[in-house]
Amino acid sequence: MDFSNSANHIIVALDGMDPRQAIEFTAALPGLRRVKVGLELFMSGGSAVVEQLRHQGLAVFLDLKFHDIPATMAAACREAASFGADLITVHAAAGIEALAAAQQGAVEGAAAAGLQTPSLLAVTVLTSWDPLYFKEQLAISEPVDRYVHRLARLATVAGIAGCVCSPLEVASLRAAHPKPFVLITPGIRPIGCNKNDQQRVLSPSQALAAGASALVIGRPITKAEDPAKAFNECCRSIEEI
């Protein structure tokens, strides 16, 4: 992954948009390099929206959080790589064999299409889990933060590029997994910005200083009165990091 300038560190989450809105929105943001396509946009736009975004020169983070048996993970990543996803999320809890199969599928799909191999990112524990419910419903007695580290280790053993993590986990995961292991974090709010439904947030510069490789930012940019200005301010705020 290329992190050579500040715009490459910012991945704008295209949530709440249909394909047409997503294409118009991104076309109006000069300097934008990376976008995140999640379940909502992918369900309405499919691979065509990913290809259209790529044709605008954007790298696409395909956040579909694959979790299945190894053969299915491999096939899904082969397809995603073949239509040009640059980053792909998979659930670490699928296990080492499935993660390694997913990686192999991505390598094959990219090679067959003559594209660069995407980076796979493991999702550890979704931040929507309440620690008490986590223990009660899943019968996992290990504290959530230790469990996150356990799952992140599966990613390294399987040889995938990195993890998606909450802002609160960035520093401890970075201490355990030096670069080039990739850590991408959502829950980013520029200083003074509305937190929306995010409970635990870091500013862009705090998250990068804590060891994040790149940041997912949605509403502070997509819902801003002037999205281009908000994006440029985010870029400027991390130029010195």
User: What is the binding site for ligand C5P (CB under 6 A)?
Assistant: 13, 15, 36, 38, 127, 166, 186-187, 196, 198, 216-220
CB of 186 to ligand C5P, least distance (A): 3
- Angle 111-115-96 (CA atoms, 0-180°, nearest 5)? 60
Cβ-based nearer residue to ligand C5P, 137 or 196: 196
Structure tokens at 132: 């008490």
CB of 112 to ligand C5P, least distance (A): 29
Cβ-based nearer residue to ligand C5P, 23 or 163: 163
Cβ-based nearer residue to ligand C5P, 166 or 206: 166
CB of 38 to ligand C5P, least distance (A): 5
DSSP string, 140-185: --S-HHHHHHHHHHHHHHHT--EEE--GGGHHHHHHHS-TTSEEEE
Q: Which residue is nearest to ligand C5P (CB)?
A: 218
Which amino acid would we find at residue 131?
P
CB of 117 to ligand C5P, least distance (A): 23
With CA atoms as reference, report the closest residue to 88 among 116, 52, 125, 63: 63
Q: Which of 36, 65, 179, 223 is catalytic?
A: 65
Torsion-angle region of residue 159: left (phi > 0), alpha (psi -120 to 50) or beta? left
| 65 noted as active-site residue | yes
What residues act catalytically?
A: 65
